[in-house]
Structure 1
Amino acid sequence: MNTQAPAYDSYDVIIIGGAIMGSSAAWFLTDNADFDGRVLVVERDPTYQFASTTHTNSCMRQQYSEALNVRISQFAADFVKNLRQYMGGDDRVPALSIRSFGYMYLADTEDFAATLRENLRVQQREGAGTRLLDPAQIKAAYPFYHVDDIVLGSINTVDEGFWDGSTVFDWFRRSARERGVEYITNEVVGMTRNSAGTSVQSVTLKSGVVINCGQVVNASGPRAAQTARMVGVDIPVEPRKRYSWVFSAQDPLDRDLPLTIDPSGVHVRENGGGTYQAGGHPADDTAVAYDDFEMDHNIWEDHIWPTLAHRIPQFEAIRVQSEWAGHYAYNVFDHNAIVGPHPDLENFYFLNGFSGHGLQQSPAMGRGIAEMLTYGEYRSLDLRPFHFERIVTNHRFVETAVI
């Protein structure tokens, strides 16, 4: 890594991690007329080759078990569809849309079906367009599914499906830079508290430079726990490996394939042009090393492909075109984000643990952390249920709809 030096020796806000979450926070700070501080984003890999942002499915959904997560995705949908307006009417910003093929949750037991029914009530109270389908209705709408072992399906085709996450990320970063946010290639390797131990006083970079800071945001994705340990804080976030495959079908489906979550946990979605994207994880779903992105080809042969062929018989004859492994920043405590200020370390903020749904939550989370940094409170969505205190007090805010 060829490190870069910061332009100044002190910043009002230092954001550790420049992928979509850190860049969203940086951009929303610049978009707030009440914030006039100096912002530094420190990113260890400006190619983002191994970032969770790069390895994403780039889809959004409103089918969550927690109402706050539904509202967070609803803001994301509005932000994506009105990106140019949010970016100040800049004609360079492309007009984006959501390819709303929806998510299809398939339940194979009565217990799972009961969970879908309960989640439906939560989602509909928030105005989501979720519908439940019995097996006959699933088969009528999507004849390619094998549903003999299915009890119930849940789908929403309103603002739920594929969106161009890479373009939103690019514009968060580009616009933030144009508005004065400084990005450098470097790595935070240490932080020093003040003499009272109540705040972070400085940040040390891999290049040896020490920078004074007003506020620090941990937006370091799957490395979040490593970053937090630099100030003596333990957070329950670890890298979990997730595999993805893009494949073509000899006999393509005659209509869009929703992002289908099989009861086995395998998921597959429309990719366009007769291609599809599938994903899954190993049976032994434990933490991996930060630099472990090695593929396990046996998972495809032994689990993923057989599952796809069972659920969609037309996928018996398919050909893999590309494959990769990425990491979830997985919150093992309750599968929900850890966001907001540390209760005792007054200027240290979390933006961590999104457990696979960070890309779609980035607009709301970036806006929320910018509000907290500027005002010391939230002015839009109240994100306090995601605060670190719940971990200290062992009060879980559980999201059950995790893929």
Structure 2
Amino acid sequence: MRAAFPSSPSQASYDVVIVGGAIMGSSTAWFLANNPDFDGSILVVERDPSYEFTSTAHTNSCMRQQFSNPLNVRISQFAAEFVKNMRAFMGGDPRVPELEIQDYGYLYLADTSAFADVLRSNQKIQVEAGTATRLMTPEDIRAEYPFYNLDDILLGSINTNDEGYFDGGAVFDWFRRSAREKGAEYIANEVASMTRARNGSSVQSVTLKSGEVIACGTLVNASGPRAARTAAMAGIDIPVEPRKRFTWIFTAEQPLNQELPLTIDPSGVHFRQDGPQTYLAGSKGDPDPAVNYDDFQMDHGLWESHVWPIIATRIPQFEAIKVVTEWAGHYAFNTLDQNAIVGPHPEVENFIFQNGFSGHGLQQSPAMGRGVAELLVYGNYRSLDLSPFGFDRILGDAPLVEKAVI
């Protein structure tokens, strides 16, 4: 993902300054630069042009329709449409790859009556939004996936239409590449501070780590797990913090003879097919505190003490498995409700949030980039109303809870 960006901007003023050039910032830059009604200038400031420590680089590239909020369902439906038709969205450019979604599906497993009721409620919302989510009894699951141990399971929920995983790296690469070709300027630098207007109603300029002062018409905070730090430069507090998420790629001595859906065990540990002969598992830590922005230390004991025993219990055929590689990444975790914060600040009116995706960012990036670009060009959302994710709920401590968080 390494990109060669200059360190200094070519201008002293830009209509839009985007802080963060990973998947969310690049999606916004692309949709904005691609909009025929926008003729302004765009500066994307990325502190890590290698992208080595971004959430985008550590993603598991998953996509699902199974959310409890119908707006989140519609956001993922657009993501599926965009991924499967990316070349067409990008003007038929033959360089753009034709992508598909590996429709292995997500299988949620409920081991309590309360969780089963949540799956039933969620499935009703999803079906009303047009998804193909099915509820499955233990007998149904055994018939289709006989390798599971279901002794403690009461109900399952699965959707194998536009749900699984995809080449997120290719989507990111083309957002960024095409945005630059259409005029968005990327620099390898860091926003160190911001200056607000005397009456506090706007951000007038940003000062880069290298010392340049850049005037801006609008500022977009797309800085992932560092979102709270960026907001604080404008005197704004948001409930977003970095939380570690651990991933393992493993092989099995006895591979399954069919594809493994992304299985969400009641423990929270999840695992899925990753390639013809490999599988992927993911987990949060226990406990799960906020961590330093630069802390990517792997918890090597978590696999042996927690993750592997859960996998081997749920799939006895995975008693003998071997880790091939592992890594730790960060969620930009919204501690209020694990949902996005999107749109303008009510007082600092040219400060736009694009934060707190809590692990959903990659699959939500097409809809969020499109929505923020519409907001910047037209002053409102046109394709999909994202206003329920606005900052007012943060100020009012009014959570918009998403029940289906992994």
TM-score (norm 2): 0.98
How big is each residue's C-alpha offset from its partner over 1:71-108, in whole Å with a ceiling of 9 and x where there is no partner? 00000000000000000010111111111010000000
Shift in Å at residue 273 of structure 1?
Answer: 2.1
Residue 43 of structure 2 corresponds to: 40
Pick aligned residue for 2:226 from 214, 223, 226: 223
In the aligned structure 2, how far is the partner of 1:152 from the partner of 1:120?
12
Shift in Å at residue 354 of structure 1?
Answer: 0.2
Structure 2 unaligned runs (5+)?
Answer: none
Residue 96 of structure 2 corresponds to: 93
Residue 267 of structure 2 corresponds to: 264
1:107 equivalent to 2:110? Answer yes
Residue 359 of structure 2 corresponds to: 356
Letter in 2 for 1:371: E
- Identity across the alignment (%): 67
1:163 equivalent to 2:200? Answer no
- Equivalent residue of 2:385, what SS? coil
How big is each residue's C-alpha offset from its partner over 1:280-337, in whole Å with a ceiling of 9 and x where there is no partner? 0111111000000001111111000000000011111011000000000000001100
Residue 182 of structure 1 corresponds to: 185
Residue 148 of structure 1 corresponds to: 151
In the aligned structure 2, how far is the partner of 1:267 from the partner of 1:112?
16
Pick aligned residue for 1:6 from 6, 9, 16: 9
Pick aligned residue for 1:365 from 354, 365, 368: 368
Aligned partners of 2:111 and 2:155 also within 8 Å = yes
State the aligned residue count.
403
Letter in 2 for 1:303: H
Letter in 2 for 1:316: E
Pick aligned residue for 1:309 from 306, 312, 319: 312
| 1:275-354 → structure 2 map (5 Å cutoff) | 275-354=278-357
How big is each residue's C-alpha offset from its partner over 1:94-152, in whole Å with a ceiling of 9 and x where there is no partner? 11111101000000000000000000010000000000000011011001111011000
Shift in Å at residue 274 of structure 1?
Answer: 1.4
In the aligned structure 2, how far is the partner of 1:115 from the partner of 1:39?
43
Residue 32 of structure 2 corresponds to: 29
1:250 equivalent to 2:253? Answer yes
Aligned partners of 1:3 and 1:207 also within 8 Å = no
Aligned partners of 1:368 and 1:378 also within 8 Å = yes
- Equivalent residue of 2:205, what SS? strand
In the aligned structure 2, how far is the partner of 1:171 from the partner of 1:217?
20
The ranges of structure 1 where at least 4 consecutive aligned residues each deviate by more than 3 angstroms after the TM superposition are: none
How big is each residue's C-alpha offset from its partner over 1:224-247, in whole Å with a ceiling of 9 and x where there is no partner? 000000010000000000000000
Aligned partners of 1:204 and 1:210 also within 8 Å = yes
Aligned partners of 2:5 and 2:187 also within 8 Å = no
RMSD value, Cα: 1.0
Residue 57 of structure 2 corresponds to: 54
Aligned partners of 2:5 and 2:49 also within 8 Å = no
Letter in 1 for 2:298: M
In the aligned structure 2, how far is the partner of 1:393 from the partner of 1:3?
41
Letter in 1 for 2:279: Y
- Equivalent residue of 1:54, what SS? coil
